A and B are shown apart, each in its own frame.
Chain A
Amino acid sequence: MTVAQENSALDFSCETGNYHTFCPISCVAWLYQKIEDSFFLVIGTKTCGYFLQNAMGVMIFAEPRYAMAELEEGDISAQLHDYEELKRLCEQIKRDRNPSVIVWIGTCTTEIIKMDLEGLAPKLEADLGIPIVVARANGLDYAFTQGEDTVLAAMAHKCPEIARETEKQERNPIQKLINFGRQREQVEAEESAYADHPPLVLFGSLPDPVVTNLTLELKKQGIKVSGWLPAKRYTELPVIEPGYYVCGVNPFLSRTATTLMRRRQCKLIGAPFPIGPDGTRAWLTKICSVFNIEPQGLAEREAKIWENLEDYLKLVRGKSVFFMGDNLLEISLARFLIRCGMTCPEIGIPYMDKRYQKAELDFLEQTCGEMGVPLPKIVEKPDNYLQLQRIKELQPDLVITGMAHANPLEAHNISTKWSVEFTFAQIHGFTNARDILELATRPLRRNNRLGELPLMPSKW
């Protein structure tokens, strides 16, 4: 897509797009937990509801702050008035849950019948007195984690533009958390520990402990995180002024990045993602370099982490991993696993934004060079049937795949790890590198333990 890629030796191809992945509406599952005062209303059909109900498993019984606005035949044929219907449901939500924001998730059906959610929202927002954010996270356009991208891109518009100094302080929950309960003088003294750099806002939804962790990593380098999109609460969305620096923490956030750059005039720091100790170091180094800060102690830090991983590294070294592709974390994970000593013949990926992921792609190429392994084939919009033929031929040691193929592959004696787990596990930062390997090596460790058990009858 970009000129920069022309020199790249990476082999990109694109298949039929006939692959299994989660519907992007699944993002409500983690976003309603992240944004504590939100309510997610998925405007779709029974198909959407059935998916969420099954995909969210036991979460569904925990009275989640999400619901379906289930479209009926009358809605489809426009016998019912969209505005009136949505108003009725949102009033009920306001009454029962009193959220600070209602997020409407547009689905395939609202796209096809061209329900003007973006048009209806401001009107209803005024009537209801609750902000409404519209995200079109549908299966016509997006895959799985891209759902979060559409929601965050929509929220980027809602971040306050300019805030008074005092309010700025209050609006920074991360800083508040770190300074919690300390004397003002103490806080001020800490402020001086930061280098003088323009405000930095990070984007991407991560569990709170990971947010704290990454914020502290930056603090060690004297970099202050002014805010995080999304914050714990909708009312705490960070201030974003033109000229602020922004940096992504996940590889699937290209729309959010674009929105922050084009609509909010932010400067995007293009860095590899902080997944794996190598990625975390590269991420921190890149941010430091943008702010002209000499990073401190990162090499030692990284080396120390690798040292601690040795027991796991022994298991994966020299083994091959095949990514079927379904959640867009694939490039970063492959890069990390190659650094761990694995080979990777193929990286399937739903969508490849070569511009947003440029630093990560370059890092992948560099890693392959340094580790002396062949560059992987990157297959965008893969065809699962063709991939299974290739897996049959290659017999990789590990296939990272969706749940639709995991059990059948295991029945063919191919070790698998469900890709979905990487989406929900804590995989960012130095501290969590071990968790990635804990996941990736689990099938290998299991198989080592089952050494005496017969294999499944060969079917291939």
Chain B
Amino acid sequence: MKLAYWMYAGPAHIGTLRIASSFKNVHSIMHAPLGDDYFNVMESMLERKQDFTPVTTSIVDRNVLARGSQEKVVDNIVRKDREEHPDLIVLTPTCTSSILQEDLENFVERARLEAKGDVLLADVNHYRFNELQAADRTLHQIVKFYVEKARKKGELASEKSAKPSVNIIGMTTQGFHNQHDCSELKRLMADLEIEVNAIIPQGAYVENIKNLGRAWFNLVPYREIGLATANYLQENLGIPYVDITPMGVIETARCIRQIQAILNQQGYPIDYESYIDHQSMYVSQAVWFSRSIDCQNLTGKKAVVFGDNTHAAAMTKILVREMGIHVVLAGTYCKYDGDWFREQVEGYCDQVLISDDNGEIGDHISRLEPAAIFGTQMERHVAKRSKIPCGVIAAPIHIQNFSMGYKPFLGYEGTNQIADLVYNSFTLGMEDHLLEIFGGHDTKEVIHKGISADSDLTWTKEAKTELNKVPGFVRGKVKRNTEKFARDRSVTEITLEVMYAAKEAVGA
């Protein structure tokens, strides 16, 4: 048992659902108790999805506990198959079904006999994997299933496309800025004259999987999701992959050079050097920003970085190599892949922290007192408490991180976004500091000003207590309205009754 207040990565089934719901016309059926379908809320709220989330639950209730699911799961799969005709139904186990140890595979077998679409059981154990690992596994599982299916039917695409082409692997719903990254990568590939053969899973149909083999190579932009699939495709279809995250000027160039090397190996002579130069100098403002005096002022400033492997590692390198900032601590919550992270940030920071305990990272922050933090929403709140500016660079995230405006983190436009993020974090912090030094804002305690400075009214103790229960931001208004009400009626003492009567009268 572990005392936990906060978790960075969600439970396994969330990962499976993220993959399944990223595909088009794939439906997930969770084997779970009532209330576990919180994923639907996140899709609807965080992502502002317009469509009903293709996830339903085969409810585990008291009866199921006593007698087993029996026909229930099969019926639910068959029913969904009939109602919505999905290409694939993914039966998704949860922590509850992990311990019930029902033979879900058997349900899937039986449902397959009746369903027109395909049915799969997600192979993830709640107690062994987290959200990210499960997502990586599920994507691999689905791709493998359809590659094998196509191979059996002799439908597997074997011929490469005429021109160089790529599969972009690992774009998912609820991924940090995935939507924007995806557009940016498509733009990058167009610039490099590489055709995008497929993007999976986001927006793909499962039937597209049989054509993955047409691509000359795979691009896996994020460390956490897609590597298992890329490895499988390399081993089985001989498709090489690039797994360098094109985040920051230097890493984007490295990613493009790696792509160049792979294309060259396949007998396609191409040289992207002049493209890289042009983009770095004229499209991205990041190189110029780094040389400008703005950035000079950031030299040696202390920063803490914390997030998932991809973003925390890339951010650390950007801050150090591209902006001259001093990263005192770089950390990741991807404990299962900690060695990779250590290797990536080696030499770029004073200290590495591999932990999923938010208290631990919070303690480090207050001890190190950095000038800025780059982390998740949790670090943002730690930062708020300790009055340190913070830029959010990784999930877990809130709705404000699903921005409607174009905000990629990858590619050349991504470098501009990151430069803004970093610069705004630091200058805001500095501005605040300067205000402190020169006497600060004059906006403190406005609530009491001018409302009842020379009031002829008295508040009884209990009414005062009641007033103090009103949230601060409307307290002034409530006080004003109540006093106005009292004055209008020539009441001189404000009691609880008067307060409520006033509330009823003004209807607020």
Binding site for B on A (CB under 8 A): 17-25, 43, 45-47, 49-51, 53-55, 60-61, 64, 67-73, 75-76, 80, 85-86, 88-89, 92-93, 108-109, 111-113, 138-144, 177-178, 180-181, 208-209, 212-213, 216, 304-305, 308-309, 385, 388, 402-408, 411, 430-431, 434, 456
Q: Are B33 and A140 in contact (CB under 8 A)?
A: yes
Q: Which of B444-467 contact A (CB under 8 A)?
A: 461-462, 465-466
The residue from A22, A140, A388 contacting B65, defined by CB atoms under 8 A apart: A140
Q: Are A308 and B504 in contact (CB under 8 A)?
A: yes
Q: Are A112 and B96 in contact (CB under 8 A)?
A: yes
The residue from B34, B99, B130, B496 contacting A112, defined by CB atoms under 8 A apart: B99
Question: How distant is the Cα of A86 from the Cα of B35 in the complex, in angstroms?
Answer: 25
> Beyond A47-B36, A178-B462: 15 further Cβ-contacts under 8 Å?
A21-B35, A45-B126, A53-B396, A68-B3, A69-B1, A89-B3, A92-B3, A139-B36, A141-B62, A216-B497, A404-B44, A406-B44, A407-B44, A430-B504, A434-B507
In the complex, which of the residues A47, A50, A71, A385 has the most CB atoms of chain B within 10 Å of its own CB atom?
A: A47
Q: Are A408 and B44 in contact (CB under 8 A)?
A: yes
B235 interface residue per 8 A CB criterion:
no
Question: How distant is the Cα of A377 from the Cα of B491 in the complex, in angstroms?
Answer: 49
CB B176 to nearest CB in A, in angstroms, measures: 15
Which of B7-15, B270-278, B309-317, B432-440 lies on the face that meets chain A?
Answer: B7-15
A88-B99 in contact given A50-B11, A73-B127, A76-B127 (Cβ < 8 Å): no
Q: Which of B269-296 contact A (CB under 8 A)?
A: none
CB B41 to nearest CB in A, in angstroms, measures: 5
Q: Are A405 and B1 in contact (CB under 8 A)?
A: no
Question: Can you report 12 A-B residue pairs in the complex whose CB atoms are below 8 A from each other?
Answer: A47-B13, A51-B35, A61-B381, A68-B3, A68-B5, A70-B4, A113-B99, A140-B34, A308-B504, A405-B40, A407-B50, A431-B500
Question: How distant is the Cα of A411 from the Cα of B53 in the complex, in angstroms?
Answer: 13
A112-B100 in contact given A407-B49, A408-B44 (Cβ < 8 Å): yes
Q: Are A54 and B381 in contact (CB under 8 A)?
A: no
Given the complex, which residues of A lie within 8 Å of B346, measured CB to CB?
none
The residue from A80, A430, A456 contacting B50, defined by CB atoms under 8 A apart: A456
Question: How distant is the Cα of A92 from the Cα of B508 in the complex, in angstroms?
Answer: 44
The residue from A72, A140, A143 contacting B127, defined by CB atoms under 8 A apart: A72
B218 interface residue per 8 A CB criterion:
no
A411-B3 in contact given A112-B96, A308-B504 (Cβ < 8 Å): no
Q: Are B14 and A50 in contact (CB under 8 A)?
A: yes
Question: How distant is the Cα of A213 from the Cα of B7 in the complex, in angstroms?
Answer: 39
- Chain B residue at minimal CB-CB distance from A19: B34
- Chain B residue at minimal CB-CB distance from A86: B1
Given the complex, which residues of B lie within 8 Å of A61, measured CB to CB?
378, 381
CB B508 to nearest CB in A, in angstroms, measures: 8
CB B83 to nearest CB in A, in angstroms, measures: 7
For the complex of A and B, 5 pairs with smallest distance between CB atoms:
A23-B35, A139-B33, A411-B50, A404-B40, A61-B381
Given the complex, which residues of A lie within 8 Å of B7, measured CB to CB?
46, 49-50, 53
B52 interface residue per 8 A CB criterion:
yes
Given the complex, which residues of B lie within 8 Å of A403, measured CB to CB?
41, 44-45
Question: How distant is the Cα of A139 from the Cα of B500 in the complex, in angstroms?
Answer: 38
B157 interface residue per 8 A CB criterion:
no
Given the complex, which residues of A lie within 8 Å of B53, measured CB to CB?
404, 408
Question: How distant is the Cα of A70 from the Cα of B6 in the complex, in angstroms?
Answer: 11
Q: Are B34 and A23 in contact (CB under 8 A)?
A: yes
CB A34 to nearest CB in B, in angstroms, measures: 13
Q: Are B36 and A68 in contact (CB under 8 A)?
A: no
Question: How distant is the Cα of A86 from the Cα of B2 in the complex, in angstroms?
Answer: 9
Question: How distant is the Cα of A386 from the Cα of B352 in the complex, in angstroms?
Answer: 52
Binding site for A on B (CB under 8 A): 1-7, 10-11, 13-14, 32-38, 40-45, 48-53, 56-57, 59-62, 65, 76, 83, 94-96, 99-100, 126-128, 130, 378, 381, 396, 461-462, 465-466, 469-470, 496-497, 500, 503-505, 507-508
Given the complex, which residues of B lie within 8 Å of A143, measured CB to CB?
34-35
Question: How distant is the Cα of A66 from the Cα of B81 in the complex, in angstroms?
Answer: 41
Given the complex, which residues of A lie within 8 Å of B381, measured CB to CB?
61
- Chain A residue at minimal CB-CB distance from B2: A70
Q: Are B13 and A216 in contact (CB under 8 A)?
A: no
Q: Are A141 and B100 in contact (CB under 8 A)?
A: no
- Chain B residue at minimal CB-CB distance from A92: B3
Q: Are A51 and B3 in contact (CB under 8 A)?
A: no
- Chain B residue at minimal CB-CB distance from A181: B461
CB B49 to nearest CB in A, in angstroms, measures: 6
Q: Are A405 and B52 in contact (CB under 8 A)?
A: yes
Q: Are A139 and B35 in contact (CB under 8 A)?
A: yes
- Chain A residue at minimal CB-CB distance from B130: A46
Question: How distant is the Cα of A92 from the Cα of B504 in the complex, in angstroms?
Answer: 46
Q: Are B99 and A17 in contact (CB under 8 A)?
A: no
A177-B465 in contact given A23-B34, A23-B35 (Cβ < 8 Å): yes
Given the complex, which residues of B lie within 8 Å of A139, measured CB to CB?
32-36
Describe A's contact surface by its main secondary structure: helix
Given the complex, which residues of A lie within 8 Å of B36, measured CB to CB?
23, 47, 51, 139
CB A381 to nearest CB in B, in angstroms, measures: 9
A112-B1 in contact given A181-B461, A209-B469 (Cβ < 8 Å): no
Question: How distant is the Cα of A308 from the Cα of B508 in the complex, in angstroms?
Answer: 11
Question: How distant is the Cα of A403 from the Cα of B128 in the complex, in angstroms?
Answer: 30
Given the complex, which residues of A lie within 8 Å of B470, measured CB to CB?
209
CB A361 to nearest CB in B, in angstroms, measures: 24
Q: Are A17 and B34 in contact (CB under 8 A)?
A: yes
The residue from B3, B6, B34 contacting A60, defined by CB atoms under 8 A apart: B6
Given the complex, which residues of A lie within 8 Å of B62, measured CB to CB?
140-141
Q: Are A18 and B59 in contact (CB under 8 A)?
A: yes
- Chain A residue at minimal CB-CB distance from B14: A50
CB B106 to nearest CB in A, in angstroms, measures: 20
Question: How distant is the Cα of A407 from the Cα of B470 in the complex, in angstroms?
Answer: 31
Q: Are B505 and A308 in contact (CB under 8 A)?
A: yes
Given the complex, which residues of A lie within 8 Å of B38, measured CB to CB?
23, 50-51, 54-55
Given the complex, which residues of A lie within 8 Å of B396, measured CB to CB?
53
CB A426 to nearest CB in B, in angstroms, measures: 10
The residue from A20, A138, A456 contacting B37, defined by CB atoms under 8 A apart: A20
Question: How distant is the Cα of A89 from the Cα of B461 in the complex, in angstroms?
Answer: 41
- Chain B residue at minimal CB-CB distance from A384: B56
Question: How distant is the Cα of A181 from the Cα of B45 in the complex, in angstroms?
Answer: 48
Q: Are B462 and A407 in contact (CB under 8 A)?
A: no
Given the complex, which residues of B lie within 8 Å of A69, measured CB to CB?
1-4
- Chain B residue at minimal CB-CB distance from A68: B4
CB A231 to nearest CB in B, in angstroms, measures: 16
- Chain B residue at minimal CB-CB distance from A389: B83
Question: How distant is the Cα of A45 from the Cα of B129 in the complex, in angstroms?
Answer: 13
Question: How distant is the Cα of A213 from the Cα of B498 in the complex, in angstroms?
Answer: 11
Question: How distant is the Cα of A141 from the Cα of B45 in the complex, in angstroms?
Answer: 27
Given the complex, which residues of B lie within 8 Å of A60, measured CB to CB?
5-6
- Chain B residue at minimal CB-CB distance from A301: B504
CB A56 to nearest CB in B, in angstroms, measures: 11
Question: How distant is the Cα of A88 from the Cα of B41 in the complex, in angstroms?
Answer: 35
The residue from B33, B83, B128, B504 contacting A305, defined by CB atoms under 8 A apart: B504
Given the complex, which residues of B lie within 8 Å of A402, measured CB to CB?
41
A72-B41 in contact given A47-B13, A53-B7, A209-B469 (Cβ < 8 Å): no
Given the complex, which residues of A lie within 8 Å of B60, measured CB to CB?
108, 140
A22-B35 in contact given A68-B3, A76-B127, A112-B100 (Cβ < 8 Å): yes
Question: How distant is the Cα of A209 from the Cα of B478 in the complex, in angstroms?
Answer: 13
In the complex, which of the residues B14, B56, B60, B127 has the most CB atoms of chain A within 10 Å of its own CB atom?
A: B127
CB B378 to nearest CB in A, in angstroms, measures: 8
Q: Are B2 and A208 in contact (CB under 8 A)?
A: no
- Chain A residue at minimal CB-CB distance from B508: A434
CB B75 to nearest CB in A, in angstroms, measures: 10
Given the complex, which residues of B lie within 8 Å of A47, measured CB to CB?
11, 13, 32, 36, 94-96, 126
